[in-house]
Amino acid sequence: MTRSFNKKQAGLAVACALAMGILSGTAGAQTTPDVKDKAFLEDTRTGVVKSGFGLCWHTAFGPPPAAGPECDPNYVAYVAPPAAKSVAIPPPVQTAALTPPPAPPPVAEKLTLDADTLFDFDKATLRPAGRDTLDAFVGRLRDISPETIMTIGHADRIGSDSYNQRLSERRAETVKAYMVSKGVQANRVYTEGKGEMQPVAKADDCAGPKSAKVIVCLQPDRRVEIEVIGTRVAR
């Protein structure tokens, strides 16, 4: 009976001793006078209290401190990446503004077609030789970009003023129509009739009433003048 009692007493004594040791250690760890000023829990005997994995216990006051080699056995120090080297960007190359070449000045060409090859007396129909002359003139336009082409018709003095005016206009229209048929733009060609107002035959040489001789003498007055204004094409 006594022996059994002694065993119980011994067990109780050991348990009490262990409990007192644990409480003593805990109390020593938590009752440090400046615990609120420390980030990690400390023991008055062993310093910072660590877990079985070597991690420090946070005091729970304030935010958790940053990891460090003292409280993290797997701590890897942060190494900042090297600063990127700045590459100097060269300034943009200043190029001189290209000045366009000046536009070529307009040129004017005037051609008076041979009256002997254009129209017969009292006619507004081109002669075959007159068509050949106009073909050569249209060929000359390849070197010019025409802006306006003026065709001016004329008539001799035989007949009334009104009749000769209409005849001169018909001759100018005939020349325009032929040039358009050869590729000249119609909206570039303008016509005008001068009637008998601008003769080129000398009156003294062609004096007298209507006759075969006078008709032949007045042939230069049955003409069409063509004036071209445009820009010469560079070759």
Residue-wise over 176-207: b if at least 16 C-beta within 10 A, else e?
Answer: bebbeeeebeeebbebebbbbeebebeeeebe
CA-based nearest residue to 199, from 139, 155, 152: 155
Residuewise pLDDT in 10s, the chain (235 residues): 444 445 444 444 444 443 444 434 444 444 444 555 566 667 666 666 676 666 676 666 666 666 666 676 666 676 777 777 777 777 777 766 677 777 666 666 565 555 566 788 888 888 888 888 899 888 888 888 888 899 999 999 999 999 999 999 999 999 999 999 999 999 999 999 999 999 988 888 888 888 899 988 998 898 898 888 887 776 5
CATH 3.30.1330.60 boundaries in the chain:
106-232
Q: Are 209 and 167 in contact (CB under 8 A)?
A: no
CATH code for 106-232?
3.30.1330.60
Say what the pLDDT of residue 41 is: 66
Say what the pLDDT of residue 30 is: 43
Say what the pLDDT of residue 90 is: 77
Say what the pLDDT of residue 106 is: 60
CA-to-CA separations, 116 to 112, 121, 130, 168, in angstroms, rounded = 12, 10, 8, 15
The tokens for 33 are 């006078």
E strand or H helix that includes residue 28: helix 2-30
Evaluate if pTM is beyond 0.75: no
Do the bridges between strand 189-193 and strand 47-48 make them parallel or antiparallel, or are there none, so unpaired?
A: unpaired
CA-based nearest residue to 56, from 44, 45, 69: 69
Q: Strand, coil or helix: what is 221?
A: helix
Those residues whose C-beta lies under 8 Å from the C-beta of residue 199, and which sit 6 or more positions away, are 154, 156, 157, 218, 221
222/114 Cα distance (integer angstroms): 9
Say what the pLDDT of residue 153 is: 92
E strand or H helix that includes residue 24: helix 2-30
CA-based nearest residue to 145, from 184, 178, 192, 101: 184
Do the bridges between strand 144-153 and strand 189-193 make them parallel or antiparallel, or are there none, so unpaired?
A: parallel
Q: How open is the CA angle 180-182-187, to the nearest 5 degrees?
A: 25
The neighbouring-strand residues paired with 229 are 108, 148
Say what the pLDDT of residue 11 is: 46
Say what the pLDDT of residue 19 is: 41
Say what the pLDDT of residue 160 is: 94
